[in-house]
């Protein structure tokens, strides 16, 4: 009895505006993002690998991708640091009030220390602890659920969840089947406690131990780096497109359908589907499966490519001006492992006003030339 009393007293003192009898939800209260300056388009890519703009657009749907070059910065921590700084600027949150940082990435700066610890140090989050999560392209989806449960426990009030990858660091630019797919970028969200019926309300997550079709063969403790592994180019992404495509469509669609049925969601009341940006044909197939029109599906693969752990939060970053409080979102992702799932979220704020504070800055062909993009970016302060 004393244990329960102590818990109730602790909860009330930590959240004085929240009744101990009220349910605590975890809601997104802000979004930040960052993509590197350099733009690699299909025309340039066709100069060093046997491919073409027509081939890439037909099979993948990618026109351009952002690439982090050494002269600008290094490591996924650079991308995430820029994203977190923008998030703090937009939300005007006291950095000392952030209690935790979770970084979903497959391309950490080092085996150790964690990318989260580097981001925490770079951004002055002096009272936060943090850690990395590695679930490939499903990483951010899983990380949101982990953060939400920390908040639901009543012990934490404010958590930053980052998702992103420096995919060019493990992309084989001699492999025409994989190199057009990937780009670099990161984004993050602030998740906070609320008693409103908004935020992350449900989730469905699964793993199937099947990795022969999608993996990096060497570099881990099972097959440590050696001259042989480097010569065999085993430190890059290996993917067999056909089986991965088939599994991704089936698993993501099944997960979305499960979440929709569990929560009474239909094509009439789903505001947005937020899918992992792996292939435009996969995104279209998932939307068709549940009957949602494509204009209610967040898509940015054409100018962002597949940033792995960054795809979902980068969609939120880009589409934030269109988000309204009460919008119903279904997130879904599929990655190596295989790992996949879906989650249901009710959006917690009107995004248009927040997005104006620090607009998402990305390159989109047809709206601005690459030369104009570079010229405008030169005015930014270097890190």
Look up tokens 């999560």; give the residue: 133
Q: Is 367 helix (H, G, I), strand (E, B) or coil?
A: coil
Residue 11 counted as domain residue: no
Q: Tens digits of per-residue pLDDT, 293-335?
A: 999 999 999 999 999 999 999 999 999 999 999 999 999 999 9
- Residues present in the chain in total: 383
pLDDT at 15: 55
* Residue among 295, 316, 312 at smallest CA distance from 90: 316
pLDDT at 275: 98
Q: Is 38 helix (H, G, I), strand (E, B) or coil?
A: strand
Q: How far apart are CA 50 and CA 199, in angstroms?
A: 45
On whether the CB atoms of residues 33 and 66 are closer than 8 A, the answer is no
Q: How far apart are CA 137 and CA 167, in angstroms?
A: 11
Return the beta strands (E) in 53-153 as ranges. 64-67, 100-104, 129-133
Q: Are strands 184-194 and 158-166 parallel, antiparallel or unpaired?
A: antiparallel
Q: Which DSSP string do the residues of 217-234 spell out, in sequence order?
A: -SSSSSS---HHHHHTTT
Q: How far apart are CA 93 and CA 30, in angstroms?
A: 10
Q: Is the pLDDT of residue 92 over 90?
A: yes
Q: What is the pTM of this model?
A: 0.93
For the beta carbon of residue 372, count every other beta carbon within 10 angstroms: 11
Residue 40 counted as domain residue: yes
Token pair for 85 = 């700084």
Structurally, the chain folds into a number of domains equal to: 1
CA 158 to chain centre: 19
Q: Is the pLDDT of residue 1 over 90?
A: no
Residue 14 counted as domain residue: no
Q: How far apart are CA 17 and CA 258, in angstroms?
A: 35
* Residue among 110, 74, 85, 104 at smallest CA distance from 32: 85
Residue 16 counted as domain residue: no
Of 174-178, 302-306, 371-375, least confident by mean pLDDT is: 371-375
Burial grade of 231 (CB within 10 A; 0-12, 13-18, 19 or more): exposed
Q: What is the mean pLDDT of the chain?
A: 93
CATH number at residue 138: 3.40.47.10
Q: How far apart are CA 181 and CA 85, in angstroms?
A: 28
Residue 127 counted as domain residue: yes
Question: Model confidence at 204, in pLDDT bands (50, 70, 90)?
Answer: very high
Of 1-5, 84-88, 161-165, 188-192, least confident by mean pLDDT is: 1-5
Look up tokens 């499960």; give the residue: 258
Q: Is the pLDDT of residue 18 over 70?
A: no
pLDDT at 382: 42
| pLDDT > 90 in the chain, percent | 88
Token pair for 212 = 């022969």
> Domain containing 139: what range?
22-377
| pLDDT > 70 in the chain, percent | 93
pLDDT at 380: 59
On whether the CB atoms of residues 178 and 81 are closer than 8 A, the answer is no
Token pair for 128 = 């936060």
Q: How far apart are CA 359 and CA 134, in angstroms?
A: 29
On whether the CB atoms of residues 296 and 329 are closer than 8 A, the answer is no
Question: Model confidence at 6, in pLDDT bands (50, 70, 90)?
Answer: low
Q: How far apart are CA 116 and CA 132, in angstroms?
A: 6
Q: How far apart are CA 46 and CA 344, in angstroms?
A: 40
Q: Tens digits of per-residue pLDDT, 264-292?
A: 999 999 999 999 999 999 999 999 988 99
Helices (H), 101-240: 115-123, 139-152, 227-231
For the beta carbon of residue 104, count every other beta carbon within 10 angstroms: 33
Question: Model confidence at 185, in pLDDT bands (50, 70, 90)?
Answer: very high
Residue 3 counted as domain residue: no
Per residue, the 3-state secondary structure of 16-42, as one string, reads CCCCCCCCCEEEEEEEEEECCCEEEEH
Query: E strand or H helix at 41, and its extent?
Result: strand 38-41
Residue 7 counted as domain residue: no
Q: Mean of the pLDDT values across residues 112-135?
A: 98
Q: Which residues are catalytic?
A: 137, 276, 306
CA 35 to chain centre: 12
């Amino acid at each position: 009895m004393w244990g329960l009393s102590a818990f109730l007293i602790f909860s009330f003192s930590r959240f004085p505006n929240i009744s101990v009898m009220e349910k605590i939800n975890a809601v997104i209260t802000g979004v930040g993002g960052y993509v590197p300056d350099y733009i690699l388009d299909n025309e340039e890519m066709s100069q060093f690998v046997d491919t073409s703009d027509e081939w890439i657009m037909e099979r993948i749907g990618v026109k351009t991708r952002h690439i982090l070059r050494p002269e600008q910065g290094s490591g996924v921590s650079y991308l995430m640091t820029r994203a977190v700084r923008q998030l703090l600027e937009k939300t005007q949150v006291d950095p000392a009030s952030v209690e935790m940082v979770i970084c979903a990435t497959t391309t950490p700066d080092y085996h150790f220390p964690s990318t989260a610890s580097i981001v925490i140090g770079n951004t002055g989050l002096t009272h936060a602890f943090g850690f990395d999560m590695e679930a490939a392209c499903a990483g951010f989806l899983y990380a949101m659920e982990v953060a939400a449960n920390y908040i639901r426990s009543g012990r934490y009030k404010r958590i930053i969840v980052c998702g992103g990858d420096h995919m060019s660091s493990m992309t084989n630019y001699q492999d025409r089947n994989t190199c057009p797919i990937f780009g670099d970028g990161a984004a993050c969200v602030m998740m906070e406690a609320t008693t409103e019926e908004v935020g992350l309300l449900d989730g469905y997550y699964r793993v199937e131990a099947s990795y022969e079709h999608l993996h990096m063969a060497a570099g881990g403790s099972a097959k440590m780096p050696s001259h042989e592994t480097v010569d065999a180019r085993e430190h890059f992404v290996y993917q067999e497109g056909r089986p991965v495509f088939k599994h991704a469509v089936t698993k993501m669609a099944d997960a979305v359908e499960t979440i929709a049925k569990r929560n009474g969601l239909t094509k009439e009341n789903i505001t947005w589907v937020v899918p992992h940006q792996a292939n435009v044909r996969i995104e279209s197939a998932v939307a068709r499966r549940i009957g949602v029109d494509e204009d209610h599906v967040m898509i940015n693969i054409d100018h962002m490519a597949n940033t792995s752990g960054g795809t979902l939060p980068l969609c939120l970053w880009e589409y934030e001006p269109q988000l309204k409080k009460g919008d119903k979102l279904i997130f879904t992702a599929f990655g190596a492992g295989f790992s996949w799932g879906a989650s249901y979220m009710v959006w917690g704020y009107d995004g248009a006003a927040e997005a104006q504070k620090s607009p998402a800055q990305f390159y989109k062909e047809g709206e601005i030339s690459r030369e104009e993009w570079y010229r405008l970016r030169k005015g930014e302060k270097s890190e």
